[in-house]
Amino acid sequence: RGSGNDNLKQGQSQRINKRPVNSPTNSSDSPLQQKFSPMEYPQHKKKKKKRKTEADAITKENKSKDLVNAELCELQISENKNFTEQTYELISQLEQTECERKMRLDILQDVKETVAPYLPFVEPQIYGSTLTNIAFKTSDLDIFLYCPNGQPEYNFVLEKGWLMYKSPKFKNVVRVSRARVPVIKATHRATNVDLDISTMSGQAVTNSMFIKHILSMDVRFRPLAMLISLWCKLNVITGHSRFTSYSIVLMLLYYLQKINPPLLPPLKDILYTNNENDWPNFFTEKLLTNENSSDIAQLFKGFFVFYANFNFEGFIVSPYLSEEIPVSHFQNIDELSEDFKIYKSKLTNNTTPFMVTNVIHVQDPMEHNVNTTKGVFPRLLKLFRRSIDRFLNSCTDNVPQNHWLPTIIKQLPLKLVDEKKFEFTLNYPKSEEGWFENLKQDFRQLLKILLIRITEDELENKTDKNSGLHKDSFCAEANYNVFNRKFRYPLRMYMSDAIDLVGLQKQFEIVIERIKSTTILFKTK
């Protein structure tokens, strides 16, 4: 003890630290007090455990999604098989085994035992992709706490979420109480399965049962849904603050209604209600007679062709009516047809109206006031469209079908970035005839030297006779960030004066050596 405070117990060190320097209690006689001043003793404070926040949950989820995407990129496909055989080969690697599904159902018992002290008659139910049978091995497990004697109040997650904290069966517990549907996010320790637990998602259970019913009516539907879901995950289209898996499935159903001949009828022919004041939450076994013989490959590509130029901003995707409904009809309910009389009636009872976002609108076929894509922001819709364009450009009719799936798995997701403007002034002689055509040729040669590839040319080429303004539009892409400072210097240097292609090429070769070319694809317009 004379050599320092290493052997002091925590309580002793704290008492010594609190003792005043001029303390009369034998302070002058204490060898410890003579050798060390009170401030020299280390503070042994108990570290407070930092409570996880909703932001932590989102960060954790995004990191886990990155790992999931990395695993998806390692999928194996035999290129000597046809598209249908490749599809089932992929599904066998993606889908949960019977043992894994049983294991997930066993988790419900652990959840029940944990919340039983406050919800004694609770019956946990699964919903989402696990119930619809299109879940991947890495998918989360969505759980609804059904209470036969009445659902708990809205603030249950906030006030009683600590039950999950105390249970040794769960970890990484976070309460997301400010969401429209409050949930408890957790990880089951024994299985390492991520959970989303809610007491207010009863309608989601009904929706999932209906989707499962639809997907089971044709042997092509489930594989098609899993392929499109895979494409969305690989391109980071679905996830937190992005498209929901449910909205993507609804878009698939709508597409299957619009092909010729249709594979699905309007869902209003299948759904019904027992009470004219309730949403149509019941469904029949009746479906359209199957007259469309398209294979999975044709249906898969057709999905992207269908939505490549769809006017999401102006029309609502409505699988219920199987029609494109103008957005203005939901802004003025007098323009809505009698098919939405329940919606009109509910609006008089303070039901939240359908949310118009000016981005994309996919209507829930049961709850007609729900826009399942209301969380999609403009940049994400651009990413969705750009990803579709890339698929259609790389999987053309000239490319064998058995090359499509290997291609999309190898492609990295496009970056979710804003389109940036790169302004410059170019001194170019206008005296000679046809100067604008010469400028276009020189500028395209410049892009070629800069390793920028033009993918779509002559998108818009016009001349305003009154102002003499010439406009030339095209799309281009590169394997590096064109707006990087190190690339910007030679661009500005040569674009601010007459184009010196030879000098620029030499300068750019030096810059290329300095900067490693990235594998991420940047695209601007």
Sequence-separated (6 or more) residues with CB below 8 Å from residue 335: 326, 328, 329
pLDDT at 157: 80
209 in any annotated domain: no
Point out the domain boundary residue: 169, 204, 239. Answer: 204
Describe the chain by its helix, strand, coil percentages, rounded to 5: 40, 15, 45
Q: What is the pLDDT of residue 287?
A: 65
Counting DSSP H helices and E strands in the chain, the numbers are: 19, 12
Say which range, 171-175, 341-345, 435-439, has the weakest mean pLDDT.
435-439
Check residue 42 and give its pLDDT: 45
Is the per-residue pLDDT at 323 higher than 80?
yes
478 lies in some domain? yes
How does the average pLDDT of the chain come out, rounded? 78
Q: Is 460 exposed, middle or buried (0-12, 13-18, 19+ CB in 10 A)?
A: exposed
39 and 72, same domain (yes or no): no
Short-list 486, 466, 478, CA closest to 525: 478
Least confident of 19-23, 78-82, 197-201, 282-286: 19-23
pLDDT tens track for 272-286: 888 877 899 888 876
Beta bridge partners, 460, equal 473
Whether 308 is in a domain gets the answer: yes
Q: How many CB atoms lie within 10 A of CB 244?
A: 18
Checking if the pLDDT of 406 tops 70, the result is yes
Question: How many structural domains comprise the chain?
Answer: 4
Q: Examine the fold and report which residue of 142, 176, 204 is the final residue of a domain before the chain moves on.
A: 204
Same domain assignment for residues 199 and 225: no
Closest CA to 180 of 7, 338, 323, 375: 375
Q: Which of 3, 34, 33 is nearest to 17 (CA)?
A: 33
The pair of structure tokens assigned to 172 is: 């990484």
Residue 156 pLDDT:
80
**DSSP sequence for 14-66:** HHHHHS-TT-TTTTTT-HHHHHS-GGGSPP-PPPPPPPP-HHHHHHHHHHHHH
Q: Single out the residue in 149, 177, 204 at which a domain terminates.
A: 204
Q: Are residues 387 and 452 in the same domain?
A: no
- Which of 25-29, 340-344, 401-405 comes out lowest in average pLDDT? 25-29
- Give me the helix-helix angle, 202-215 and 221-234, nearest 10°: 120
**Do residue 224 and residue 334 come from a single domain?**
yes
Band (182; pLDDT cuts 50, 70, 90): confident
CA–CA dist 251, 302 (Å, integer): 12
- pLDDT above 90: residue 92: yes
Q: Is residue 168 part of a domain?
A: yes
Sheet holding 522-524, edge to edge: 453-463, 470-478, 522-524
Looking up residue 325, the CATH number of its domain turns out to be 1.10.1410.10
Q: Are residues 293 and 344 in the same domain?
A: yes
Q: Does residue 422 fall inside a structural domain?
A: no
- Exposed, middle or buried by CB within 10 Å (0-12, 13-18, 19+), for 103? middle
| Helix (H), strand (E) at residue 327 | helix 327-331
> What domain range is 337 assigned to?
220-409
Both 107 and 24 in one domain: the answer is no
Q: Contact at 8 Å (CB) between 186 and 133?
A: no
Q: Which residue type occupies 464?
A: D
Sheet holding 141-146, edge to edge: 123-127, 141-146, 193-198, 183-188, 170-176
Q: What is the pTM of this model?
A: 0.69
Lowest average pLDDT, out of 185-194, 242-251, 380-389, 415-424, goes to: 415-424
Q: Hunting for tokens 């704290």 — which residue is that? A: 14
Same domain, 10 and 148: no
Domain at 150, CATH number: 3.30.460.10
Q: What is the pLDDT of residue 449?
A: 72
How much is the pLDDT for 472? 77
Task: Using the structure block, give the residue that is written with the tokens 């053309």.
Answer: 396
348-399 pLDDT per residue, tens: 888 889 999 889 999 999 999 999 999 899 999 999 999 999 999 999 889 9
**Would you state the pLDDT for residue 192?**
92
Same domain, 325 and 466: no
Answer whether residue 425 shows pLDDT above 80.
Answer: no
Q: 500-503: long-range contacts at Cβ-Cβ below 8 A with a sequence spacing of 24 or more? A: 501/442, 501/445, 501/446, 501/449
Helices 245-258 and 202-215, interaxial angle, to 10°? 40
pLDDT tens-digit series, residues 442-493? 777 777 777 777 877 766 666 766 666 777 777 777 766 666 655 555 555 5
For residues 369 and 389, state if they share a domain: yes
Cα-based distances in Å from 148 to 73, 112, 114, 119, 145: 44, 14, 17, 10, 10
pLDDT digits (tens, 9 = 90+) for 191-214: 999 999 998 878 999 999 999 999
Angstrom distance (rounded) from CA 213 to CA 211: 5
Residues 43 and 123 in one domain: no
Is residue 83 included in any domain, yes or no?
yes
Pairing, β 193-198 against β 183-188 = antiparallel
Contact 204, 334 (CB under 8 A): no
Query: Picking from 40-49, 63-72, 90-99, 283-292, which range would have the lowest pLDDT averaged per residue?
Result: 40-49
- pLDDT at residue 28 is higher than 50: no
Band the pLDDT of 82: cuts 50, 70, 90: very high
Indicate if the pLDDT at residue 107 is higher than 80.
yes
Residue 424 included in any domain:
no
Q: 416 in a domain, yes or no?
A: no
Amino acid identity for residue 125 in this structure: Q
Encoding tokens for residue 93?
Answer: 């690697």
Indicate the pLDDT class of residue 47, thresholds 50, 70 and 90.
very low
Which is more confidently placed, 276 or 496? 276
Looking at the fold, whether 320 and 460 belong to one and the same domain comes out as no
Q: What is the pLDDT of residue 494?
A: 55
In this structure, are 236 and 324 located in the same domain? yes
C-alpha dist (Å) from residue 438 to 388, 446, 455: 33, 12, 20
- Residue 440's SS3 state is helix
User: Over 70: is that where the pLDDT of 439 sits?
Assistant: yes
